[in-house]
Amino acid sequence: MRVAAVYKWARGVDGATVHADGTVQWRVTKMVAGEDDHAVLAVAQALAGDSDGSVVGLTIGDGDASWALARGVTETVSVADAPSLTDEAATAEILAAAVTSLGGVDVVAVGDAEEHPGVAVALAGKLGWGVVAGVTRAAVTGGRVAAVRRVGDVEETVSAATPVVLGVAAEAAEPKAPGMKELLAARKRPVTTTTLADLGLDPVDPVDQRGTRVPEVTAARLFDGEPADAARALVAALRNEGVLR
């Protein structure tokens, strides 16, 4: 089984400043390792180990390929001219084209980040594959992927046929990060680079972000007192609003 582990594909939200007028300024635009990226790599390596397969790392833009190379990945690809995007669909399109160009990929593992929740699903849509989100660990069972995810306080195992995209969510911090020696050695290893043109993609127009604002909402009403009294007050209010008759 060949698994593509996607890492350093987005900017860190702590690099953004939201001004009083709602405009957003990015102080740092560099692609950084997301909080789920180490879990992505762990899931990819587990699947490859179960199936006597391999892991290929995939990053975009100025993502540092040595991050994965220092963590045991021997092959990694970078889409060097991919821009820093806020458009999740455009990011997914670039990743999908890169995965397709690799050929022979059975599973794509990508961070199921809270800041970018649409990328894993959009990536699956672009590839035409199935997707399992919120995955914490995975194994190969009977030629299928057994993906474990947490739903509330219950663990759920989903059996998925390949090819499939796994949106991976970390449950804890990385147990042990590589040291300086491993990082320096990783930077000497070869990296395959490609471009948007190589992937058959046109240059991506950045999203014109005009600003952000808090939506106007109706103030909530609270009904205090004894449960029976609160319930009667709630029903009366709903009838006044025309919700109940």
Quick one: pLDDT band at residue 162, thresholds 50, 70, 90? very high
Secondary structure percentages of the chain, helix, strand, coil, to 5 = 25, 25, 45
The three-state secondary structure class of 167 is: strand
What is the pairing mode between strands 154-160 and 144-151?
antiparallel
pLDDT at 210: 67
pTM for the model: 0.79
**What is the residue type of 229?**
D
Domain ranges of the chain: 2-194, 215-245
User: What is the rounded CA–CA span in Å between residue 178 and residue 37?
Assistant: 14
Tens digits of per-residue pLDDT, 170-193?
Answer: 988 888 888 888 888 988 888 999
**Strand segments (E) across the chain:** 2-6, 10-11, 16-18, 24-26, 31-32, 54-60, 75-79, 107-111, 130-141, 144-151, 154-160, 164-168, 192-194
Tens digits of per-residue pLDDT, 107-133?
Answer: 999 998 777 888 999 999 999 999 999
pLDDT at 86: 73
User: What is the rounded CA–CA span in Å between residue 4 and residue 60?
Assistant: 13
Query: Hey, what are 85's tokens?
Result: 């995007």
From the list 117, 118, 91, 121, the residue with the least C-alpha distance to 108 is 121
CATH topology of domain 2-194: Rossmann fold (3.40.50)
Strand-pairing partners, residue 79, are 60, 194
**What is the residue type of 148?**
V
**What is the residue type of 35?**
E
